[in-house]
Amino acid sequence: MFAFCATSRGGIELPELETMAAALRGAAGKPVIWCDDQGRAGFVAATAGILAEDVFDRQPLTSSTVAFGARARIDNRDEILEKLSVPVCEWPVIADSEVLFRAYLRWEQDCVQHIYGDYAFAAWHRQSGKVVAAIDHLATARLYYSQTAGRLIISTQLGGLLAHPRAARDLDLKALGLLVAPKIEAGSTPWQHVRALVGGHLLIGDDRTLDIHRWWQPDTAIRTRYRDPGNYVLAAQEAFDRAVRARLRTTGGVASMMSGGLDSTLVTATAARQLRECGRGITGYLSVPQPGLKCDTAPGLDADDSPYATAVAQMHDNLTLVKLSPAGTCPLEIVPEIHAASRTPVRNGANHIWFAGIWSAARATGARVVLHGGKGNATISQTGEEAPGDLIRQMRWRDAARQARLCIRADGPAAWRKLAGELAGQRGRAWFRRMRHSPAGRTRPGTELLTAEFRAAHASSLESFARPVSDRSGQIDFMMVPGNQWTADAAAQWGVEDRDPTGDRRLIELLLSFPLEAFSVGGWPRGLARAMGIGRVPDMVRFRRTRGAQVPEIARIIALHSARYRDVLEVARGSAQFRSIFEGERVRALLERVCTGSAGPAGAPTLDRVADVSLFLTGGHA
């Protein structure tokens, strides 16, 4: 982790670096401070101590030409060190940050084309004063930047950047309002003058000018074709296994966020197989509903994934399944702590009941890595076909009928019930007309809570554009959906690192070379992932026809804590910033509907987001 500032005018002083150093969280030791002799640039850097090689980390790294800071896990470090002609005997004592530094000294900004892994870095060139910063392909690491008061400030943590004495701390009310819709624009943060570097992008400039451009331009041309569909499975499995293995590097234990779905169970089961080779185990954490609370689920959604997760655990003797429930916890208890640590609202406070529970429990048992399969729907388990609704919007009736049959085969009654409900009756006809004439055909949940002035000012941002994930450009867009900057920073707050093998760059680039039919092996949507799961997850998971609901009891949790929600919203209504975004009476009415069970499926999640933003506006974290 690091924080950095530069100015062409000189005058950077030790106190401003010390304030940033004090704000960095999750460091294994005291941050090291470095300042240019002429006061034109300064670094604050520390290691999280999650990798074994971190004990050799000596950041910030400097040469006669460059000063450098990074947060890095380099998956092809041996390959890079070999290319750089580093003696093999030195490899074990070189930190990943130094691997990245040496790669930068050799290739400068083009080093990102050679490096695979999760990383963020900033390099300052002593002679020219040029700054080069970059983020990995999906922004799995975080990197924030701001040009303000004659300074370019960059940090891997919002807190580190905002601690700089000259940092502008004006809130971005547009971004906070859109969060409720929910809509997150690329590069946005809750802070008007602070941006997040988007995945696969480079930043080049100084305190006056910035050039930001995309370095990751994956090739979507079909380059891999096999006569035998099984070869697609073998190729994908090899790349997936490599991606999982690369993410097991840690000084501590390994845990996973494991539902009963295909992606997270494949990640967990594969990790268990690999860890067994060295006599280690893995803990899979499963979110289950709070006992005694009614769960709201739609057809095709299960409130409790326990039967599926339990079946996976029974296949692997080194996989321990731990079930976590809210146990009376309210999101209002969790999000203020996250606001203070991560300096951002979290988009879905209800989900953070179990996110925080998993991160906390994992760290308490010595784990430093928590695996998940967040990008699986766009990579290994994409359907291989467009959704029936997308095909209907395009008037492709025959393709829509064929795909509807496949979806019913895969998902059972839930598939045709959803489609029939959309098309039936007057509401269905209105829906169909909207499908024909609008890109998305629906109003984003929460839009009605925004003031008329806010909706008018940001109408284009509130529009929904739903491109099929199976479309190649849409697939890449889905993978690169911004999100990390609006979630809790697990490394900073709990000292654990989230890692997603399904978002591995080499895996993604391989899958993009496949034709779409490769993902429907055996005539099944998600057929590639189903085939990859043979011998790893039970058939009841591979051919599951339902999905798990996320915090299905959230409406009842809100009702149980309704007095606290009323207090939070009442305090927020006294804020001019809140009133510029939300219609207070509509928010109050939504709370009452949620508490009486008449708000509909989107009601409780929407109210959860409003409460999150309200606490952020009034909690003193601004």
Q: Please write the tens of the pLDDT for every residue from 186-243.
A: 899 999 999 999 999 999 998 889 999 999 988 888 899 999 999 999 999 999 999 9
The predicted structure's pLDDT at residue 485: 77
Residue 398: the pLDDT is 67
Over the stretch 142-175, which tens digit does the pLDDT of each residue have? 999 999 989 999 999 999 999 999 999 999 999 9
Quick check: 139 and 199 in contact, CB under 8 A?
yes
Give the pLDDT of residue 422: 46
Q: In what order do the strands lie in the sheet with 32-35?
A: 32-35, 41-45, 2-6, 151-155, 144-148, 195-196
- How far apart, in whole angstroms, are the C-alpha atoms of residue 371 and residue 270? 11
Backbone CA torsion sign across 303, 308, 314, 316: negative
Same fold, 2-214 and 229-380+483-545: no
Beta-bridged to residue 203, according to DSSP, are 133, 212
185 vs 482: CA distance, rounded Å: 7
The residues facing 4 across adjacent strands are 43, 154
- DSSP one-letter string for 359-396: HHHHHHTTEEEEE--TTGGGTTT--SS--HHHHHHTT-
Residue 431's pLDDT band, with cuts at 50, 70 and 90, is very low
Q: Which CATH superfamily is domain 229-380+483-545 in?
A: HUPs (3.40.50.620)
Residue with tokens 């179990």, as numbered in its chain: 354
pTM of the model: 0.91
| pLDDT (average), residues 113-122 | 97
* CATH no., domain 2-214: 3.60.20.10
The pair of three-digit structure tokens given for residue 141, joined into one six-digit string: 């690491």
523's CB contacts (< 8 A; 6+ apart) are 406, 409
Question: How many CA within 13 A on the CB side of residue 499?
Answer: 32
Longest Cα–Cα distance in the chain = 74
Q: Which string of DSSP letters, residue by residue, matches 186-249?
A: TT--SBTT-EEPPTTEEEEE-SS-EEEEE------S-----SSHHHHHHHHHHHHHHHHHHTT-
Instruction: Give the rounded percent of residues in the chain with a pLDDT score beyond 90.
Output: 76
Residue spans per domain, the chain: 2-214, 229-380+483-545, 388-477, 554-618
CA distances from residue 594 to 292, 588, 590 in whole angstroms, order as listed: 18, 10, 6
Judge whether 197 and 145 are in contact, CB under 8 Å.
Answer: yes
Residue 439's pLDDT band, with cuts at 50, 70 and 90, is very low
> How confident is the model at residue 537, as a pLDDT?
97
pLDDT at residue 427 greater than cutoff 50 = no
Q: What is the mean pLDDT of residues 501-515?
A: 94
- Residue 440: which pLDDT band, with cuts at 50, 70 and 90? very low
Q: Is 472 helix (H, G, I), strand (E, B) or coil?
A: helix
- Chain CA centroid to CA 369, Å: 15
- Tokens at 232, concatenated: 């697609």
DSSP assigned state of 451: -
**pLDDT for residue 394 is more than 50:** yes
Residue 476 pLDDT greater than 90, yes or no: no
pLDDT digits (tens, 9 = 90+) for 517-526: 899 888 888 9
Return all residues near 234 (Cβ < 8 A) that are at least 6 apart. Answer: none
Q: What is the chain's mean pLDDT, rounded?
A: 89
DSSP 559: H
55, 92, 94 from 89: Cα distances, Å: 17, 7, 10
